[in-house]
Amino acid sequence: MAPSWENDDDRKYDAVSSDPITALPSLPFEIIEEILSKLPVKFLMQLKSVCKSWESLISDPQFAKKHLRVSTTRHHLLTFNNFFSDELFVVVYPFSSVFTELTVAASRQLDFPLPVGNLSHYIIGSCHGIICFEINEHFVFLWNRFISKFMKLPSLANPKQKICYTAYGFGYVYDQFNDNYSYKVVAVNYIESDNNVSYYRYRPQLKVYTLGTNSWRMIQDFPYCIPLGLSSGRFISGTVNWLAYNNLFISLVIVSFDLENEFYQEITLPDYEVVIRPQVTLVVLRDCLSIIAESNTYLDVWLMDEYGNTESWTKLFRIPRGEPPAYITPLYLSEDDHVLMESRYVRQSKPQSELAIYNSRDSILKTTEIQKINCSMVHEVYQESLISPCSL
């Protein structure tokens, strides 16, 4: 029996004979969808050219959501420099071999879709393959490099107010009933105040931008001071979390902003079990809120097993600091307790950045071949997806 074709656009010809390629056994569309949902985004972008029906399926936002649920383990590592520069070093590494052979050979340099000169870039965070950047403090830029889609949000700048600095966060709310994601960017603007009292020098304003709208919304006052070096909020369980000072800069707490109901609450930090309070960093590891408590010679990794339950803080392990002492930020924690971490330090008046892998079970530290870069690098572990920031 001669093969049947859906339409002329679905017919593919052999490059040599110009005869129709022998048809594969017919499969139900549901089976084809199931197979495609398990493939990497790179292959799916190529398969869009097979026929119109496949292009329509792969471009469908509902298929993008299904693919996202199936491909939760596909992660990548993005590295770039965040200083003012005429050249922006943007490299991506496949994460499947990150703990075994993270090498320069495995990397791929990317073209950043925005002009580079006279702009500072900083990663706020990532969700579902969308990486959120801060541009010169006043702009937010969203980019899914897998599907080459990006968008720039309206500026936060106000000519009547002087913004001293801004703390950002990026996350989403999932509506299970409608199977829908609502993505939001949060900004805490610290405006210069007329009050001469030092601890009221900045007046914070909390604003929210929901993707799909066209403006920032003022939410409420924000009676906390987020230190400038800790200004990126960490997304977990529908909330954005910052380390911040309350009570006139006396106590350091975690401030959690609920993205769905748009209110905030405090979460107490774990008991560090040391006499002198160490340097503290807030990260997310294994989809849990994590505190990195750092002293002069080591850092302790704490994990909140149940979000919001302060009784569930658990100290996982201790990582020794090397020589010269470095500022260490864990980026990813595997199920077998291997830690991918970023080390930043200054040697001979030059900032250097280094990636290393620490095996907490046998206390072995192994540096990768991507190390000792003579500039300030930023690293982000993110998930691949078909989700487009432009269609939300």
pLDDT band at 191 (very low <50, low <70, confident <90, very high): confident
Indicate the DSSP class of residue 65: H
For the segment 292-299, the average pLDDT, to the nearest whole number, is 83
Please tell me the pTM assigned to this model.
0.83
Mean pLDDT of all residues belonging to the chain:
78
Q: What is the pLDDT of residue 26?
A: 75
Exposure b/e, 125-137, CB count within 10 A at least 16 = b: bbbbbbbbbbbeb
In sign, the C-alpha dihedral spanning 221, 227, 228, 233 is negative
Does position 8 have pLDDT exceeding 50, yes or no? no
Q: What is the pLDDT of residue 370?
A: 59
| Cα–chain center distance at 332 | 12
Q: What is the pLDDT of residue 353?
A: 72
What percent of the chain has pLDDT above 90?
Answer: 28
Q: Give the pLDDT confidence of 258-281 residue by residue, as tens digits.
A: 999 999 999 999 987 654 556 888
C-alpha–C-alpha distance, residues 7 and 9, integer Å: 5
Q: Give the pLDDT confidence of 341-376 residue by residue, as tens digits.
A: 887 766 666 666 778 888 888 887 777 765 545 556
Q: Give the pLDDT confidence of 211-249 residue by residue, as tens digits.
A: 988 889 998 778 888 887 666 899 999 999 999 987 666
pLDDT band at 200 (very low <50, low <70, confident <90, very high): low
